[in-house]
Amino acid sequence: KRFEEGFARFVHTPYSVSCSNGTTALHLAILALEISEGDEVIVPDLTFAASANAVIHAGADPVFVDVSPEHWTIDPAKIEAAITPKTKAIMPVHLYGHPCDMDPIMEIARKHKLFVIEDCAESIGAQYNGLATGSIGHIGCFSFFSNKVLTTGEGGMCVTADRDIAQKMQQLRDHGMSRNKRYWHEIVGYNYRITNLQAAIGVAQLEQLELFLANRRIIAKRYSEELRNIPGVGLPPEMSWAKNIYWLYAVILDEEQAGISKDALMKSLEREGIETRPFFYPLHVQPCYKGHNQESYPVTERLSRFGFNLPTSNDTTLEEITRVCEALRRII
């Protein structure tokens, strides 16, 4: 209860429902909005698999849309063409800590009477025009996996301004049990609860969250300063309407300028004891989503091919960043 209330205050939403992880948060949101077999949910092509998986778990179909070359999140200009009579929701994913362009997304949703489920797994503390991610759409879904800015080891949270939706998610999370009659099950639900032990860690993490976020800004600033003059290294975006939390410090490599391929660069860094991570693969090329792709996705394909993430955590030191950047400069 304390964790839910504290998190709701942080994102400025009236209701929050804790759960076992970020994927179950998305699944609860989709189920609470009564999205099911035969329905469609619009999902960006560049995201972690959980975004699409939760849609499929509910029996619905994800419809992939390309992302913006400017901010790497779902391109609002591409959404409307993907809407069909079966479309029930849009799932903007705030990728690598940068928020989506939410105003046009919400306008499209209002025009077509669609729900908006924000996937905020990577964006705790990020803001769009001063509003916390998760507080803009109908439901916001968060992850507290071990590599997130706020972690409970595993865990998740749904936030909403709609009391009825919140109560439905609570019931679905708790085996479908009646809120008023113990062990009386009105619907078939799930055991998607977070444990009290995990929630206690979450309470303690909330006390430090502003510090964690401030550290991320310092880390990103140092990376940007040191990488700015290294040939071929493109820095992560931060649009004028956005506050990026830099969940991961994500860069794009111009292989021609750098004189080395992304894969070779990552392997060279690995030999120096520096771990990097590639961008997510486009969803439409992966075997388990065969048949869901609707078009070509050139921006996603380019970002996935040339993008990689540098070491980023709440505890990354400025000395470590300097070591990473010196290695990058030397290799390039």
Query: Tell me, what's the pLDDT at 290?
Result: 84
CB of 131 closer than 8 Å to CB of 170: no
Query: Tell me, what's the pLDDT at 194?
Result: 98
Rounded mean pLDDT of the chain? Answer: 97
For the chain, which residues score pLDDT lower than 70? 293-294
Query: Tell me, what's the pLDDT at 20?
Result: 98
Question: Alpha carbon of 60 to those of 27, 30, 109, 251, 279: distances in Å?
Answer: 11, 9, 18, 33, 26
Supply 323's token pair: 């070591």
Taking the whole predicted model, whether its pTM rises above 0.95 is answered as yes
CA distance 265 to 274: 11
Residue 21 DSSP SS3:
coil
Query: Tell me, what's the pLDDT at 296?
Result: 85
Query: Tell me, what's the pLDDT at 294?
Result: 62
CA distance 305 to 20: 32
Query: Tell me, what's the pLDDT at 3?
Result: 98
